[in-house]
Amino acid sequence: MIGLLERGLIYILVLSGNPIGIGFLVTAKSVLRFEATRNGDEITNRRRSEYVIIGTLASFGWAILVTLAIHVILLQLAPLGFLPRAP
């Protein structure tokens, strides 16, 4: 469920023109996951940390690519006339 919420937040941040917020999301996730990777021996911690980092990178990368693809598609569509045109 958390992954879906993260990807949804990335989608909203990118489409709203605030991709810098993704950095804050990564930082918050790193801080929250830091304690989970400290329990156990060094080899287990390293593997668990790599698993979390690779999973986060894949999840965030997928969300950003899908959002940018949707953004390109939206730009190609004809305007529907809901918003006034900029001068």
User: Does the structure show a pLDDT above 80 at 83?
Assistant: no
CA 26 to chain centre: 8
Lowest mean pLDDT among 3-7, 47-51, 80-84: 80-84
- Closest by Cα among 76, 56, 68, 74 to 11: 68
Average pLDDT rounded to a whole number, residues 55-80 = 84
Task: Please tell me the pTM assigned to this model.
Answer: 0.68
Tokens 């990178």 correspond to what residue?
57
Task: Give me the numbers of helices (H) and strands (E) for the chain, helices first please.
Answer: 3, 0
- Dihedral sign from CA coordinates of 39, 40, 41, 45: negative
3-state secondary structure (DSSP) of residue 38: coil
Average pLDDT rounded to a whole number, residues 37-49 = 73
